[in-house]
A and B are shown apart, each in its own frame.
Chain A
Amino acid sequence: MASETTVDQPSKKVWGGGISPFNVSWGKMYMWFFLVSDAFTFSSLIIAYGVMRHRFTEIWPKANDVFTHFPFLEGHIPLAYVGLMTFILIMSSVTMVLAVDAGHQRNNKSVAKWMLLTIIGGFMFLGSQAWEWYHFIHGTKQGAYIMFDGQVARPFVDYKTNAVDLNTLVLPSGEKVTGAAAEAIKAKSEHVHGANMIKNEYGHPLFANFFFFITGFHGFHVFSGVMINLIIYINVLNGVYVRRGHYEQIEKTGLYWHFVDLVWVFVFTFFYLV
């Protein structure tokens, strides 16, 4: 029997061949399945983070104590800037989906407008993330003391007055140590400022390692997403999709961008909130 599943004679059955059983183009389906695989990669990283965090629960730093800065503002403002970053990325996701919707309306000018806003949002997020990294690496003025067993003792900061008391150390357990005992700790400890891959002033070395790797890997995805958005934006300006007759490429690009936003939602939860 001659083959009945030739391209120009699509089967009437959904899985009979010759048609897409999911009723999507292979490009869109490919993007979805790629995103599933990428989601597995990020899941593995976040799960690894969770395992290590729970292994060292007692000495793991609290996000509220680490991420406390806001650009141009003095003082202890925990989580505000990262909340703003989340808002910026969600906004850029909204502008992206509005671009897709404009594509459905075949409104080329509108697509261009919304894509440009999405790109700007993406760059704002990247800049914010770079700023977070800078502050994380730079650390506080007072630094912290890494004791012989690896635990980190931090100088006490009164959050109401933002006064730093260098003579009072706070141990990971929350216990405060002053006077001669504090001096004894300082004498036998390593004074550390900021963070690198080997040690940091916030807590266990793995905290900084995971922070750099997960937010860096995510930031890399944001960067590549912005680059792809830029290319597609230039295509829109050149009328590529007007000639093509449809804006499915915007949809596929949008899928990648929403994935980037989705991953950030999870990173935000597991790094900063939990």
Chain B
Amino acid sequence: MADHHNSSEKHEDKKHGYYTGDIHNQFVEEHHVENAVGIIWRTFWILLAITIFEVGIAFTSIPHDILIVVFILLTIVKAYYIIAFFMHLKHEKVSFKYSVLLPFVLILFFIVMAIVEGNYLNHMG
């Protein structure tokens, strides 16, 4: 027998969560994250430190090519922290994580192609 729960009913579930309200009206658990606020602020400090470091080394006399690599790596680190913790992707199902992140492997390919093209244009046209 189908057990219909109305998502607008305010009853306390033993599991903390809610009914999605869409056609499946599935119960989605809001799994409890330990020290959620602490993790949020820690992520903020990490992002701030990386940004200050980036702006700082921009003014040193480190060779520009090395700087570029460092900037891009640090930006990817910042992106990881924002996606994993602020957007909560770390706590989602693995299959969902992959469906969001795998297309960017294609973007990586695009970037490599574009750099090759840009280099070619620089020397030839």
Contact = CB atoms under 8 A, between A and B. Distances in A.
Contact of A265 (B44, B78, B114): B78
A100 B85 CA distance: 12
Contacts, number: 169
Interface in B56-87: 58-59, 67-68, 71-72, 74-75, 78-79, 82-83, 85-87
Interface in A214-258: 243-246, 248, 251, 254-255, 258
A44 B118 CA distance: 14
Contact of A8 (B4, B29, B79, B119): B4
B87 A54 contact: no
Interface residues of A, number: 66
Nearest to B17: A246
B115 interface: yes
5 contacts: A20-B28, A25-B22, A44-B110, A87-B51, A259-B87
Contact of B18 (A36, A54, A96, A245): A245
A262 B18 contact: no
A150 interface: no
B18 A246 contact: yes
A24 B28 contact: yes
Contact of A50 (B21, B52, B95, B114): B114
B55 interface: yes
Interface stretch (A139-147, A175-183, A197-205, A266-274): A266-274
A56 B119 CA distance: 10
Given A7-B23, A43-B110, A261 B82 contact: yes
A93 B82 contact: yes
Interface in B74-125: 74-75, 78-79, 82-83, 85-88, 92-93, 95-96, 99-100, 103-104, 107, 110-111, 114-115, 117-119, 121-122, 125
Interface residues of B, number: 65
Contacts of A101: 36-37, 40
Interface in A1-51: 7-10, 18-27, 29, 32-33, 36, 39-40, 43-44, 47-48, 50-51
Nearest to A96: B86
A105 to B, nearest CB: 9
Nearest to A90: B47
Nearest to A44: B110
A51 B88 CA distance: 33
A55 interface: yes
Interface string A65-97: 000000000000011100100110011011011
CB-based closest 7 A-B pairs: A8-B2, A246-B18, A25-B20, A54-B118, A22-B96, A51-B118, A55-B121
A262 B23 contact: no
A192 interface: no
A135 interface: no
A107 B4 CA distance: 27
A30 to B, nearest CB: 10
A262 B52 CA distance: 17
B88 A251 contact: yes
B110 A47 contact: yes
In this complex, the member of A55, A83, A96 whose beta carbon has the largest number of chain B beta carbons within 10 angstroms is A55
A40 B110 CA distance: 10
Interface string B26-57: 10111000001100110110011001101100
Contact of A244 (B8, B92, B107): B8
